[in-house]
Amino acid sequence: MKFLMGLKKYGKGDWRNISHDFVTTRIQTQVASHAQKYFIRQQNGGKDKRRSSIHDITMMNLHETNSSSLEMNNILMYLITICN
C-alpha cells in the first residue's frame, strides 16, 4: 500500500523518494525491483499466477480504501488470509 501511495505522489521512476518517504524499510534498488515486478503483474493481468497475491492491489483499490489505520489493518489481515 505504501508503495502505491509513493507511486501516486512521485510517479514512475522516482524510486529514491518513494523508498525514502514511503517504503522506508527498503533501499531504492529494492523499490525499483519491486516496481518492475508490480508493473509486469499489472500488464499480465494475473494470467500467469496460480494464486492471488497481496501485491495485486491496484491504484483503484487504493482510492476506495479509507486511510484509517484500523481499516488498513483489517484489509491487510483479509489479504493475508486469502493468500494462505
* pLDDT at residue number 52: 65
For the chain, state the CA radius of gyration. 13
pTM: 0.55
Region class of 13: left (phi > 0), else alpha (psi between -120 and 50), else beta: left
* pLDDT at residue number 80: 77
In this prediction, residues 5-9 reach a mean pLDDT of: 93
Q: How far apart are CA 60 and CA 66, in angstroms?
A: 12
